[in-house]
């Protein structure tokens, strides 16, 4: 969701869910030319004041009027496929009160997601869920992934409506490690969602 001056995003610097606010438009028209020589906008995070640069993926043709170009730019800012932001937005927010080892693992998940490395992001989420089970219930290390998910489920770490998603995560987690099947984005996002929920419940909300 965005309008001309705001983009709802998870700040690539501070990891908070914010509306990035447009600072200025920097579309430069070179003298004598009717298409822009560069095309970017600077957005500011209201939480940490860091800037993100938005680059529009527009192809300009000679002979377009400036008003037409501005119209194109407006519609592009409303469509996430039509621009890139740098630093790239995080796929999920950062969390407070995480133990150091879990915080660095969650950072790895977020950075993998930001780079669209969804298989790596999901693998790391599985490690986090196993870690939580071992940590909270003194379970043995090296058990089957299902055993950890089962324990977390028995201890009511997952709400009922999450169960179809949990089953999917468990099923993918049980595939042999030599299976190179990759995780599509929408499945990885569900796993990130569940992991975020559990981390938030265990560490952030109970702190
Ligand atoms: Zn920020």
Convert the pLDDT of each residue in 89-103 to its tens digit.
Answer: 999 999 999 999 999
Cα 11 to ligand 1 centroid, rounded to whole Å: 5
Q: Would you kindly state where each structural domain of the chain is located, as residue ranges?
A: 6-86, 100-204
Region 162-182 average pLDDT:
80
CA atoms within 13 Å, Cβ hemisphere of 65: 3
What is the model's pLDDT at position 38? 61
- Global pTM exceeds 0.75: yes
What is the model's pLDDT at position 183? 86
Is 80 exceeded by the pLDDT of residue 175? Answer: no
What is the model's pLDDT at position 2? 40
Q: Report the percent of the chain where pLDDT is more than 90.
A: 53
Q: DSSP string covering 102-131, please? A: HHHHHHHHHHHHHTT-HHHHHHHHHHHHHH
Cα 18 to ligand 1 centroid, rounded to whole Å: 7
What is the model's pLDDT at position 60? 62
Q: Which fold has domain 100-204?
A: 1.20.120
Cα 19 to ligand 1 centroid, rounded to whole Å: 10
Cα 185 to ligand 1 centroid, rounded to whole Å: 24
Region 151-180 average pLDDT:
84
Question: How many whole angstroms separate alpha carbon 59 and alpha carbon 51?
Answer: 25
The per-residue pLDDT for range 46-92, each reduced to its tens digit, is 999 999 988 877 666 666 666 777 777 777 777 777 788 899 999 99
Is 50 exceeded by the pLDDT of residue 27? Answer: yes
Cα 89 to ligand 1 centroid, rounded to whole Å: 10
Q: pLDDT confidence of 176, banded at 50, 70, 90?
A: low
Cα 201 to ligand 1 centroid, rounded to whole Å: 23
Dihedral sign (CA 31, 33, 35, 37)? negative
């Amino acid at each position: 969701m965005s309008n001309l001056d705001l983009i709802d995003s998870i700040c690539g610097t501070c990891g908070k869910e914010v509306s990035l606010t447009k600072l200025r438009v920097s579309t430069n028209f070179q003298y004598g030319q009717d298409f822009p020589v560069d095309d970017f906008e600077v957005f500011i995070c209201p939480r940490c004041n860091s800037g993100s640069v938005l680059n529009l993926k527009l192809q300009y043709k000679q002979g377009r009027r400036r008003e037409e170009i501005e119209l194109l730019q407006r519609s592009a800012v409303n469509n996430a496929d039509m621009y890139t932001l740098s630093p790239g937005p995080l796929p999920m927010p950062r969390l407070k009160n995480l133990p150091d080892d879990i915080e660095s693992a969650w950072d790895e998940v977020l950075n993998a997601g930001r780079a669209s490395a969804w298989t790596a992001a999901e693998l790391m989420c599985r490690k986090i869920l196993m870690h939580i089970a071992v940590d909270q219930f003194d379970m043995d290390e090296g058990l089957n992934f299902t055993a950890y998910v089962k324990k977390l489920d028995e201890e009511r770490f997952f709400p009922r409506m999450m169960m179809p998603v949990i089953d999917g995560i468990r099923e993918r987690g049980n595939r042999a490690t030599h299976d190179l099947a990759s995780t599509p984005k929408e499945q990885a996002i569900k796993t990130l969602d569940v992991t975020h929920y559990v981390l938030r419940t265990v560490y952030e909300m109970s702190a």
